[in-house]
């Protein structure tokens, strides 16, 4: 979003907005900027979450770093110890991906039906 748009939305001058943004960048509150991709247009519109139980921790980390389907990897507590966020073109591709993951331990997949909130940060 342009500084001019932010300025209008919050009723503050553009130089003041720019100065505050710069301060937030310097304090590392704003760590960077990124593009938002339309995954459906990239033929990766099926979002799934896979729970994995494994003792091969480094192997799953390496596997996920190499797998283009994995967008996020979390170490979690509970019955499973890893949570993967996966983007595939279809449920069939998800099944193939999960088959390739089987050598690392048991897993359970959850397919997202609808994205309601994503990347939400409340200040």
pLDDT of residue 92: 96
Measured CA to CA, the distance from residue 51 to residue 62 in angstroms comes to 16
pLDDT of residue 60: 97
pLDDT of residue 62: 97
Q: Which residues pair with 75 in a beta bridge?
A: 82
Residue 52 above 90 pLDDT? yes
Tokens 């301060």 belong to 23
Residue 42 above 90 pLDDT? no
Place 1 in a pLDDT band, splitting at 50, 70 and 90: confident
Q: How many residues does the chain have?
A: 123
Pairing of strands 107-111, 82-88: unpaired
Once rounded to an integer, what is the mean pLDDT over residues 85-104? 96
Once rounded to an integer, what is the mean pLDDT over residues 76-92? 96
């Amino acid at each position: 979003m342009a500084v001019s748009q932010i300025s209008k939305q919050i009723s503050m001058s553009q130089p003041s907005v720019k100065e505050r943004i710069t301060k937030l960048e310097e304090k590392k509150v704003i760590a960077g900027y990124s593009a938002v991709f339309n995954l459906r247009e990239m033929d990766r519109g099926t979002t799934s979450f896979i729970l994995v139980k494994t003792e091969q921790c480094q192997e799953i980390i390496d596997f996920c770093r190499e797998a283009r389907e994995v967008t996020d990897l979390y170490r979690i507590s509970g019955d499973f110890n890893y949570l993967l966020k996966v983007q595939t073109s279809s449920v069939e591709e998800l099944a193939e991906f999960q088959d390739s993951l089987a050598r690392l331990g048991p897993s359970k997949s959850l397919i997202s039906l609808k994205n309601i909130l994503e990347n939400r940060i409340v200040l």
